[in-house]
Amino acid sequence: MVALLAACGRPSAPTDPSAGPAPPARFSEPRQRLSGPLRILMWSHFVPQHDEWFDPFAREWGRRVGVSVTVDHIDTTGIPARVSAEISAGQGHDLIQHLAPLPQFEPAALDLTDVTEEAARRHGEQLGICARSSFNPTTNRFFAYCPGWAAVPGDYRKSLWERVGFANGPSTYEELREGGARIKDQDGIHLGIGMSNEADSNLACRALLWSFGGAIQDQSENVVINTDETVASVDFMRRLFQEAMSHEVFGWIPASNNQSLVAGRMSYILNPVSAYRTAQRVNPEIASDAFFIPALVGPAAQLVAGQVYNWIIPAHAGNPDAAKEFLLHYTANFEQATHNSRLYDFPAFGNLSARLGDWLRTDPFGSQPPNKLALLADAARWSTNIGHPGTSSAAIGEVFATFVIPNMYAKAARGELSPKEAVAEAESRITPIFERWRRQGLIGGGRA
């Protein structure tokens, strides 16, 4: 039986009155009787309204099914270390969410194939980027459950790019370099592609790598980083930094590109809609000048890594049944997550995206023009997982968590190593990681 949570007499979520009401929450009776506590750990969302919605949403579900739900939020950068500490201690949260894959914790996490298959049965096929970010073809397990993702478009200042001949922003990496250099010379405003130990830098640097024809691994999970294409991408980043960026990109934290755009100090960043949403609230002049473009076109491809929501249930979880039932309830209500994240969270299952296209064509949160976000309807075409062209394996997860790729670009950009030397050093760090996980039987490959 399905009912509306609103019928319980409680509001389903806080909402912006100017945006209209959020979709009503839906409730299905769990497949089994539940009880006890459920402890959830998740990253603090970059759109704060999401967490204002999520916490009472989770507690209300718990009230209805007889489970005491508590939700803890920490900075996204702290999630992997916290997961590792709780696994080492053998105790902690029952359910953990991160905005990037967590395959390196597969040996200490439950197989969530049952949740993924049940969600697909109820809501349609899972999007490829989400499946490749949560499934291990070597072990045939879903090491995580991925019900949603976030597109990562380019955010650019239209007035700045118009003055240098690119009224619709850059469409290629070469246009980014050319236009960005002119803006820096004429206006003293830099562009921002991070090369530091944080997630946005990881995504931006992978986009550049793939677009030039490079990759960390092939489809069979063999290391293939050291190629002429990768060297060319590193050399391009070196020139882009020298001509259009500043040293601050080497010390960025996850909020830095958001803050820099909102403050008017960046002509271009690579970021989901959170920076724009913040600008709408605190700097409307910048928000009106901020527009979006798809992934930039390189010599070989047009790709960027999307953010993906990995939920894991550690093996030590005290209430795994409640954790799984909550994930199915959360998924059924993903339209609420999309609305309350101001269109940051996109659903992974096809039947849950009915309203998304309408919202992107006519933004309920006040964009001018109203269709400013419409291009994101096509974002799955130019988005992929961090392990492209393979899956997000445990080895890829460790490479991501140790920031090998942004450091490769940073060392060449700062002049510490030549592009060839930076790529060779990255290979020397990546190869042992792959070999270690291969010995554990968690990845494939291993060609001579």
Q: Could you tell me the pLDDT band of residue 177, with boundaries at 50, 70 and 90? A: very high
* pTM check: above 0.85: yes
How do residues 90-136 score in pLDDT, each as one tens digit?
999 999 999 999 999 999 999 999 999 999 999 999 999 999 999 99
CA atoms within 13 A on the CB side of 444: 13
pLDDT above 90 for 62: yes
Tokens of 34: 């539940």
CB neighbour list of residue 362: distance below 8 Å, 6 or more residues apart = 370, 371
- Single-letter residue type at 371: N
CA distance 164 to 160: 7
- Answer for the pair 180, 267: CB distance below 8 angstroms, yes or no: yes
pLDDT at position 55 over 70: yes
Average pLDDT over residues 320-349: 97
pLDDT band at 31 (very low <50, low <70, confident <90, very high): confident
Residue 253 has which token pair?
A: 């934290």
> 194: which 2 tokens?
């991070």
Rounded to an integer, the average pLDDT of 21-32 is 82
Per-residue model confidence (pLDDT) at position 17: 44
The pLDDT value recorded for residue 349 is 96
* Long-range pairs of 370-378 with CB within 8 A, sequence gap ≥ 24: 372/291, 372/292, 373/273, 373/292, 373/343, 375/153, 375/292, 375/293, 375/294, 376/151, 376/153, 376/273, 376/292, 376/343, 376/346, 378/294
CB 42 within 8 A of CB 309: no
Tell me if 386 sits within 8 A of 392, measured CB to CB: yes
Using the predicted structure, report yes or no on whether residue 23 has a pLDDT greater than 90: no
- pLDDT value at position 350? 85
Peptide bond into 389 cis (omega under 30): yes
Collapsing DSSP to helix, strand or coil, 383 comes out as strand
Give the C-alpha separation, 171 to 192, whole Å: 16
Rounded to an integer, the average pLDDT of 34-48 is 96
Please name the residue ranges forming H helices in 107-222.
113-123, 128-131, 158-163, 173-187, 199-211
Confidence tier at 280 by pLDDT (50, 70, 90)? very high
Output the average pLDDT for the chain: 93
337: exposed, middle or buried (C-beta count within 10 Å: 0-12, 13-18, 19+)? buried
Q: How confident is the model at residue 1, as a pLDDT?
A: 32
18 has pLDDT over 70: no
Contacts of 228 (CB under 8 A, 6+ apart): none
Q: What is the pLDDT of residue 354?
A: 82
Question: How many Å apart are CA 166 and CA 169, to the nearest integer?
Answer: 5
pLDDT tens-digit profile of 346-392?
Answer: 999 988 888 899 999 999 999 999 999 999 999 999 999 999 999 99
Q: In angstroms, rounded to a whole number, what is the distance separating the alpha carbons of residues 421 and 424? A: 5
Identify the CA nearest to 312 among candidates 82, 149, 76, 134. Answer: 134
- Please give the angle made by the CA atoms of 413, 416 and 422, to the nearest 5 degrees: 75
Least confident of 4-8, 344-348, 440-444: 4-8
Among 125, 44, 40, smallest CA distance to 325 is for 40
Cα angle 151, 296, 338 (rounded to 5 degrees) comes to: 10
Q: How far is CA 257 from the centre of its chain?
A: 15
Q: Model confidence over 385-419: pLDDT tens digits?
A: 999 999 999 999 999 999 999 999 999 999 999 99
Q: Would strands 304-305 and 266-270 be described as parallel, antiparallel, or unpaired? A: unpaired
DSSP-assigned states of every residue in 294-340: -SPB-SS---EEPEE-EEE-BTT-S-HHHHHHHHHHHHHTHHHHHHH
The answer to whether residue 4 scores a pLDDT higher than 50 is no
Counting residues of the chain whose pLDDT is more than 70, the rounded percentage is: 95
* Structure token digits, residue 38: 């459920």
Taken in order of first residue, the domains within the chain and their CATH numbers are 36-150+307-381 (3.40.190.10), 154-305+389-439 (3.40.190.10)
> Is the pLDDT assigned to residue 3 strictly greater than 70?
no
User: Which letter, b or e, does each residue of 33-57 get, where b requires 16 or more Cβ atoms within 10 Å of its Cβ?
Assistant: ebeeebbbbbbebbbebbbebbbbb
Q: What is the mean pLDDT of residues 309-313?
A: 97
- pLDDT for the residue numbered 20: 65
